[in-house]
Every structure is written in structure tokens, then in C-alpha cells.
Amino acid sequence: MTMFAVLAEDRSDVESLVVLIRRISGTENATIQRKGFSGCGELCRKAGSHIRDFAEKGATHFIVCHDSDGNPPADVRKKVRESIEARFDMPKDCCIVVPVEELEAWIIADEEAIRKAIPTLVIGQVARPEAVPSPKEWLVDESRRGRSRPLYVPTIHNAKVAEHLDLKKVEQKCPSFGELVQFVRKAP
């Protein structure tokens, strides 16, 4: 039986990924082990030992998510892989997902999903979300227009928006999301 484990830079990314994995796999009740870190440095330092612990607890498929933050995704993937392999043998069923810029690019790929999660927030369609510099900050700024406080708060809203994302639309606009979809769908 497939059991996923998700490791990401922070808890918000982990919770969003859990929602997405359940939706992609079609198993809404799936048990998914998870660990959110306090940034990319801690993720790289500690992911290997957490993968080992999750494997001992029955996890069979591992997803490690690290934003590219303006760096080439291949370089980020290599850095994460090397940091894990320095502490633990990389499991064969491990996917290092690197959202281009930030995971929030996937969120802004579907303006309708944002509106469903935050009805008072209307943003325009973004044709190439992975080309938006700092999508998290962009979305916060868009939600602040004409207001003293933003309507969108990543730690509160990312997982809620993920529940409504049109997965095909996000996959078409964000190639990095397609890597996650392919990995989850391949799992037995």
C-alpha cells in the first residue's frame, strides 16, 4: 500500500501539498506523513533523517518540496538531493519538487480557486505564473490593494485555495506542478 510522506520548507507548503496529493491520487482520506521546516536551510539539513524515520513508519513515497526562489530548478534539485544523500540513501520513490519561484505560483495559476477560497478577493488571470517574481509577495500585494491589511495570508489560505485548484489548469500553466502530478499518479 502506498503511503506518502511530505517534507517542505514550511508548514503552509506541507499542508497545501497534502491537499493536492489527496486530490491528485483521488484518496481524500489517505494518511500522509508530513514535516514542515523553518526554511530551506533546515529542510536541507534535516530532510534525510526525517525520510529515514518516515520510511521506518511505513512511508513508501516521498515528496520533498523546495522553492526555486529565482535559482535554476535543476541546481536546487541537485542541492536537495546531495544534502539528503549525505545523511541517508535516497529512496527510489522520492520526488524533489521545485516550484518555480515559489509554491504560490501554483496558487495564482487559478484565479477562480482564489475567489472560491477568498470571495472578496478578485485577481486577474495570470498567463505565466512561474514568471512572476516572488508570487507569494505578489499575491499579498494584490490582496492589499485599497486596504490596510491583505485579504490573503499564505499560512491561512494556501491549503484552502489548494482545495479548489483546477489541477489541469495549474499543470498547463506550471510545469513544476506537472512533476508532482506525474509522481503521485505513478504511485501504485
pLDDT of 88 reads 82
**pLDDT, the chain, mean:** 96
> What's the predicted TM-score (pTM) here?
0.95
Asked if 29 contacts 61 with a C-beta cutoff of 8 angstroms, the reply is: no
Check whether 90 has a pLDDT greater than 90.
no
Q: Determine phi and psi for 47, rounding to 5 degrees.
A: -60, -40
| C-alpha separations of 186 from 15, 128, 181 in Å | 21, 26, 9
Q: Backbone phi, then psi, for 167, in 5-degree steps?
A: -60, -35
Residues in CB range of 168: below 8 A, 6 or more apart:
none
Q: What is the rounded (10 degree) CA torsion for 45, 49, 52, 56? A: -150
Residue 58 class from Cβ within 10 Å (0-12 exposed, 13-18 middle, 19+ buried)? exposed
Q: pLDDT tens digits, residue range 129-146?
A: 999 999 999 999 999 998
pLDDT digits (tens, 9 = 90+) for 94-108: 999 999 999 999 999
Lay out the sheet containing 61-65: strands in order across.
32-36, 4-8, 61-65, 94-97
Give pLDDT, residue 36.
97
As a whole-number percent, the residues of the chain with pLDDT over 90 amount to 93
pLDDT at 89 over 90: no
Write down the pLDDT at residue 150.
Answer: 96
Question: At 27, is the secondary structure helix, strand, or coil?
Answer: coil
In DSSP notation, 82-124 reads HHHHTTSPPPSSEEEE--SS-THHHHHT-HHHHHHHSTT----
Identify residue 56 by its one-letter amino acid code.
Answer: E
Look up residue 12 and give its amino acid.
Answer: S
